[in-house]
Structure formats: structure tokens, C-alpha cells
Amino acid sequence: MKIRRAHVQLFERQLDGKAWNPAFRWTSRRAPLLVIELDNGIMGVGEAWSRYTDAETVLQTLSREVAPFLAGRHIGHPSDVWNQGIENGLAAARWDSAAAWSAADIALWDAFARDRGEPLWKALGGQRAQAPAYASGGLYRDDYGLDDLRGEARAYRERGFIAMKMKVAGIPREADLLRVAAVREGLGPQARLWVDAVNQLTPESAMDFWHELQPFGVSALQSPLPPENLAGLRHLNSLGVPVIASEAEYRHSEFAKLLDAGAVSHLQYCLTLCGGFTGGIQLDKLAAEHGVTSTPQCFSTAIAQAATLHFAAAHPNVIAAEYHCFHDHLQDLYVKGAGDIREGAASAGEGHGLSIGIPEAGLQREGSVIRYVSRA
């Protein structure tokens, strides 16, 4: 493949500020995007992870480092760019570099599959489009009672989900337990329920909380402690608390430490930060070698969501992919059938590449805006 040009875009959507988690209130969502065009006119799109309040750092890295590197370059295989980025020290130098190079990997894999005329899950070696997925929701919201939360969970079940993840540890525990009970009522008794504490607990409070969650059938606890507390995570996991971590990590060496220590039951990583498909393949393989399942995280636009679903569809060690039902931006990009839920599985789609349209700059139908940042 020869890359003719690379464009950097910014997605931005204003939110009402009524939804929040224990660490952040959502007033907007911004996402850096990368669009590449091959010499034959085939295009591919990728998305980069960014911190809640800092998309600019990634946009600068994409514009100054990654897009110029790609423009005019011959690529033998989509994984070559991430691997070369690791070899020259750029991809893992900082979190923003890791995110930017991850976007390049996703865009290259997308273009590669489109050029072959097949869906990305097939290009990755998968056999079917269906990916195990859970509904990610249950955020805290202003003026949102237990009946609302119960109804939200019921709607996920009726949509076809058989698993859900919700936020906890942002309010007094007694009130949180009422929220978990309401979600369980809405989901029904058989659905899998995970909770995400957003690094807000201590080893002692996490263990107590875990015991109190058991009457509601909670089966895993995401981010109970700050990720640097490896000993605490290992201790919880060894006591039978199935730990999920660590979504905001980008260094593969740190994921290896989690696995070597026995600190996780489900390894969590974000494709838009850990190296795209190439990095995700490496981490999923590493998890499997340790007897641990993996679960790719996602909280952004349909571009990142599509990548997550294609990856999960192609890798049997993935226990479930996050399907975000609050951060579900740019849904209009999906081709027909992509993103549909049935019996607990989400369809990655049968279209070429990511099974989504290439985003165009301007006002989107949902009210968000995409604008060009740079063109190389």
C-alpha cells in the first residue's frame, strides 16, 4: 500500500453536563481522528484516545509526527507502522504518542481490509461478525432516580444485551447498593453485571464493597484501585475479587506486570491507546498465555466502537467488548447491520473494513462537529 495523504480531524460534541462518574462530569466529548488515503483512492479511518480535558496534545502529535510520517510512504502490512514506531521509540514515548500511533494502526488496518474488499474482522482472521459485548451505561446523572436506572437496564435487555457495566463508588455506599439493586431488577437475574469503581476504593473498602455486592450477582470489579497499586490489585484478585484493569494504560510492560503479578482476571486495554489492532493482538495473546481473558475498552465515537467490535469478533480470548451506550457518537457512520445487538452479541458488520463510512468535516446530524486540524 502507498499512502497518498493523511488528514487529522477533531470530533467534538457538546453534552448537557448532567451525566458524571466518580472522576469527571461530562460537558463535552472530543476525539482526535486520522483519515488516510491510498494511491488507489481507498481510504481508512482511525481514532486516538485522549484524556477527558486534553485532546490538543494528541492532535499536535498526529499533525506534527504521525501524519507527516505516513504521507507518501509505502506500507507492506498495516502492523509495520506500529512496530516501527515501537522500534524507533516514538510510539511508546508518551501517552499522546501511543494514542496517535494507535490511530494510525487502526486507519491502516481499515484501509487494508477495504482494499481487500472484506470486513476487518475477516482480515484479522476471524470467522464471524458477532462480537461478545456488554452494555456500558449506568452513569450517575442529575435528576435520575432508581426507576430511571431500572428502566435503562431493562432497555438494554430488551435491545438484546445479556451483560452490562455500571459506575459505582461516586456516592455513599448504601445509596450505591440501591442503584445496583435497581439495575439487577431491570436486567433480570441471568445477565452478567460488572461494576466500575473508577479507581476510587482502597483495598479494605473494595473488599467490603465486593461482599455487599454479591447478593446482586456482580461478577467483576473494574478499576477498584489506582493502577499503580499493583500489590493491592493482586491482593484483591487473589481473594476471589475478579479484577478488571487497566483502561488508561499504554505501556505494554505495565500490562505485563499486571499479568505476571496475577493482579487481574480480565485484562483491559483500549485499542485507541495501546497500539490499535497490532497492539491489541499482542496484549490479548499475552493475556491468554497467562490464562486470563481480555476485554477491550471503548468510550467514544463509532470509529473506536467499530474497531473494538471487529477486534472482539476475531479474537476468542475476548470475554466481552465494551459497547458504550452513553458515548455512542457518530452512529450514522455505521453501514446497515453494523452495531446491531442480538442475544448478547454485537455485529461488527459485513461491510468492507470497519463497516463504517469515512467521516466528513462539518456539522453532523446528531449535532456534533468534525473539523480539519491538518492535512499532509
Domain of residue 228, CATH code: 3.20.20.120
Query: 71 and 135: one domain?
Result: no
Closest CA relative to residue 241, chosen from 226, 261, 255, 221: 221
Q: CB under 8 Å to 152, separation ≥6 — which residues? A: 137, 138, 183, 186
pLDDT for the residue 233: 98
User: Taking 90 as the threshold, does the pLDDT of residue 376 lie above it?
Assistant: no
Residue 103 and residue 245 in one domain: no
> What confidence score (pLDDT) does residue 81 get?
96
What type of residue is 227?
P
Same structural domain, 306 and 200: yes
| 18 and 82, same domain (yes or no) | yes
Do 19 and 156 fall into the same domain?
no
Residues 286 and 365 in one domain: no
| pLDDT tens-place string over residues 182-211 | 999 999 999 999 999 999 999 999 999 999
Between 230-238 and 203-213, two packed helices, what is the crossing angle to 10 degrees? 30
pLDDT tens, residue by residue, 241-275:
999 999 999 999 999 999 999 999 999 999 999 99
Mean per-residue pLDDT of the chain: 97
Query: The pTM is what?
Result: 0.98
pLDDT band at residue 96 using 50, 70 and 90 as cut-offs: very high
At 65, which CATH number? Answer: 3.30.390.10
Q: Is the pLDDT of residue 85 over 90?
A: yes
On whether both 223 and 331 belong to a single domain, the answer is yes
Note whether residue 217 is domain-resident: yes
pLDDT digits (tens, 9 = 90+) for 130-173: 999 999 999 999 999 999 999 999 999 999 999 999 999 999 99
* 266-315 residue pLDDT tens: 999 999 999 999 999 999 999 999 999 999 999 999 999 999 999 999 99
Total domains in the chain come to 2
One domain, residues 112 and 152: no
Q: Are residues 160 and 99 in the same domain?
A: no
Claim to verify: residue 266 and residue 340 sit in the same structural domain: yes
Verify that 341 and 250 share a domain, yes or no: yes
% of the chain at pLDDT higher than 90:
98
Structural domain harbouring 368: 3-117+357-375
Does residue 352 fall inside a structural domain?
no
Separation of alpha carbons 241 and 232, rounded Å: 11
Backbone φ and ψ of 243, nearest 5°? -90, 140
Same domain, 172 and 218: yes
